[in-house]
A and B are shown apart, each in its own frame.
Chain A
Amino acid sequence: MLLQIKNLKVDYGNIEVVRGVDLYINKGECVGIIGESGCGKTTVGLSITKLIPERKGNISSGEILLEDRDILKLDPEELRKIRGKKISYVFQEPFSSLNPVFTIYEQIKEVLEDKKDTNSQIVELFKSVGLEKIIGKKNIYPHELSGGMQQRAMIAMAIASNPSLVVLDEPTTALDVTIQHQILDLIAELKNRMNLSILFISHDLRIVFSIADKIGIMYAGKIVEYGPKEKISSNPAHPYTIGLIDSIPSFEHRKKLFNAIGGRAPLFSDLPKGCKFYPRCRFRIDKCLEKEPELELVSDNHVSRCIRIAYIVSV
């Protein structure tokens, strides 16, 4: 097991936004987290190397074990060695993640572990992320690249230090569909070639389903369903997942109404009693109000936070 997140809880000024998340990532595996805005998915990603702004957020409990070492207990110096080296990040906006006053070469050189023969290393990196065009062009600045190229450069930086884990947080959301497709292909290819472990965070089911091996669906600060991609796509066992899948617009849909989820996501400051999805759920019964359900086994490796799994799976 490469990374284990156990019972992670994070609060922002007394409001708990990650309310106990467990997540496991094996070597060479891509785990996707799907969730809508404000469900806490980005916070989970940031928590892994304690990147949450200290004044605002606070990890109140939990363990994050990277190869059996608890990251949350490390001192700042050790933490710094892990950030960007053993665990690297790619965020949504490549342009704001790159420093505008340094060239791409300089920025990549910065993160290389082995400072000898940096040039050939960078050439290798550029080749592997499809940036052949700028090989040898040492004075290229971020703004001279297109959005897709910038994101490729970000990915080059993320893999430059041979990390154990790459956290990709909405890496393609800001890009056009054709570019998005290319970047996803690149990520899939790198994952296979370098045996990368990836945590892929996105609101877009289509993208996550196309790239992840295992998928966790997050709602109101907790994972509500988790399992291998095939099982979740063919046999979703949580009403929220079913609603999300029904909401995907596609050609098969042709002018029919969507079987959409009603209402809106609850505010963390005002969470409903019992099951947090109850107010929007199409399978709800009174018993759902009694207490928040635990994750229950649907089948091997497939769990769902719902008391009506048996019924849902049968229909």
Chain B
Amino acid sequence: MTMHLELLKIDSLHKTFKKHKVTAVDNASFSIFKGEVLGLVGESGCGKSTLAKLILRLIDADKGSIFYKNKDLLKISNGDMRKARKDLQIIFQDPYASLDPSMRIGEVIEEVYSIHKNVSWHERKNKTIELLETVGLGESYLNRLPSELSGGERQRAGIARTLATDPEFIICDEPVSSLDISIQAQILNLLIELQKRKNLTYLFISHDLGIIASVCDRVIVMRSGKFVEEGQCEAIFINPKHDYTKELLTSSIGFLDKKPK
């Protein structure tokens, strides 16, 4: 795989929540290359979701810079940022919370087209159906409400919305952790397939090392706002350097062959 094009470069990004006096992200610096899947693993409250929201400017960073194709996202106007969002997308953890409960699935996707005007008006419906089929749903889902869908179907709808802007980079923020294991495997398959087919770049956030191992090229281990280790998946999983990484590994690689003590 060729991965020399630096798509996103994050430089000493910092965020402290004043109300709780918590440093959620402490001087994070890293790069993501075109076409790679970068894993971000850590336990709850380590700041990984905050980092995701910071990168997309869904919350404001205290300082630092986010270069997307050599443009600092933190320095551009709100209007330009709205346009840039076309290329930078996010899939949320809880597919139920991430869909407007009052909107039908078709409307959710068509709304993206009406915001970005990237699809002409009379093509919108066909495009929407096409997209729903891409994620394994179909035309019959157009007029359904999120509450009428199962967890897996909702996450598929969420992924369809994400794809509607035809993004280059997607942050997957725990995209399967609220799903049952059989559905989880389906969604992971869908994400892996999409990534390969469209040469997408993912920042894949998860607390589950098994999931990180099965989808990522590179991984960053995060703890209390700080990066403790970063490297190729193989290196980290086979030869972890940091104690915390070791602890995570011994805690989570039980899988099938583990004997009870």
Direct contact of A and B (CB under 8 A): yes
Residues of A within 8 A of B (CB): 30, 36-37, 176-178, 180-181, 185, 188-189, 203-207, 209-213, 233, 243-251, 253-258, 260-262, 264-265
CB distance from B151 to the nearest CB of A (A): 8
B182 engages A249 (CB within 8 Å): no
In the complex, what residues of A have CB within 8 A of residue B11's CB? Answer: none
Asked if B70 lies at the interface with its beta carbon under 8 angstroms from chain A, I say no
Contact B185 A177 (CB under 8 A): no
List B204-226 residues whose CB lies under 8 Å from chain A: 207-211, 213-215
- Our pick among A178, A254, A261 for the contact of B247 (Cβ within 8 Å) is A178
Query: Could you give 25 example pairs across A and B, Cβ below 8 Å?
Result: A30-B260, A36-B180, A36-B181, A37-B180, A177-B248, A181-B251, A188-B261, A205-B181, A206-B256, A209-B255, A210-B254, A210-B260, A233-B257, A245-B256, A249-B185, A249-B211, A250-B213, A251-B210, A251-B213, A251-B214, A254-B214, A257-B193, A261-B185, A264-B152, A265-B180
| CA–CA, A206 and B209, complex, Å | 12
- From residue B181, how far is it (CB to closest CB) to chain A in Å? 5
Determine the chain B residues whose CB is within 8 A of the CB of A209 once the complex forms.
Answer: 254-256, 258
**Which of these, A233, A247, A256, contacts B181 with CB under 8 Å?**
A247
Cα A258 to Cα B188 in complex, Å, equals 8
- Residues of B bordering A, CB below 8 Å: 43-44, 150, 152-153, 180-186, 188-189, 192-193, 207-211, 213-215, 233, 237, 247-248, 250-258, 260-261
Instruction: List residues of chain B with CB within 8 A of the CB of A257.
Output: 189, 192-193
> How many angstroms from the CA of A203 to the CA of B247 in the assembled complex?
23
Which of A212, A213, A249 has the most chain B CB atoms inside 10 A of its CB? A249
Given A248-B255, A255-B192, verify A260-B182 contact (CB < 8 Å). Answer: yes
Closest residue of chain A to B244 (Cβ to Cβ) is: A178
Across the interface, which residues of A come within 8 angstroms of B256, CB to CB? 205-206, 209, 233, 245, 248
Chain B: CB-nearest residue to A219: B182
- Most chain-B CB neighbours within 10 Å: which of A188, A204, A264, A265? A264
- Alpha-carbon distance A249/B39, docked complex (angstroms): 14
Q: Taking chain B's interface residues, is the majority helix, strand, or loop, or is none over half, making it mixed?
A: helix
- Nearest-CB distance from A263 to chain B (Å)? 9
| Bound CA–CA A82/B72 (angstroms) | 65
Report A-chain residues with C-beta under 8 Å of the C-beta of B189.
257-258, 260
The answer to whether B185 and A181 have CB atoms under 8 Å apart is: no
Residues of B within 8 A of A213 (CB): 260
Q: Contacting A249 at CB < 8 Å: which of B183, B207, B210, B254?
A: B210
Q: List, in ascending order, chain A residues with CB within 8 A of B251's CB.
A: 177-178, 180-181
Q: How far is the CA of A232 from the CA of B256 in the complex (A)?
A: 10
Known: A188-B260, A209-B256. A176 touches B44 (CB 8 A): yes
- Nearest first, the 6 closest Cβ-Cβ pairs linking A and B are A247-B185, A181-B251, A260-B185, A253-B214, A258-B185, A36-B180
Kindly state the separation between the CA atoms of A53 and B50 in the bound complex, as whole angstroms. 39
Known: A177-B252, A178-B248. A247 touches B43 (CB 8 A): no
Task: Give CA–CA (A185, B208) in the complex, Å.
Answer: 19
Least distance between B198 CB and chain A CB atoms (Å): 16
CA distance A212 to B254 in the complex (A): 13
| Residue with the greatest number of chain A CB neighbours at <10 A, chosen from B44, B188, B237, B254 | B254
Q: How many angstroms between the C-alpha atoms of A30 and B261 in the bound complex? A: 13
Residues of the A chain whose Cβ atoms lie less than 8 Å from the Cβ of B233: 254
CB–CB B214/A249 < 8 A: yes
Whether the Cβ atoms of A249 and B43 lie closer than 8 Å is no
In the complex the two chains form, is A203's CB within 8 Å of B180's CB?
yes
| Chain B residues, Cβ within 8 Å of A233 | 256-257
Q: In the complex the two chains form, is B192's CB within 8 Å of A260's CB?
A: no
Contact among B182, B207, B252, B254 with A36 in the assembled complex (CB-CB below 8 Å) = B182
A94 to B215, CA, bound (A): 32
Are B43 and A176 in touch, CB under 8 angstroms?
yes
Query: Which of these, B43, B181, B250, contacts A248 with CB under 8 Å?
Result: B181
A246 touches B254 (CB 8 A): no
A255 touches B185 (CB 8 A): no
Nearest-CB residue, chain B, relative to A209: B256
Given A206-B258, A245-B256, A261-B186, 5 extra CB contacts under 8 A: A178-B247, A248-B256, A254-B213, A254-B214, A258-B188
CA distance A27 to B223 in the complex (A): 42
Give chain B nearest CB distance to A203 CB in angstroms: 6
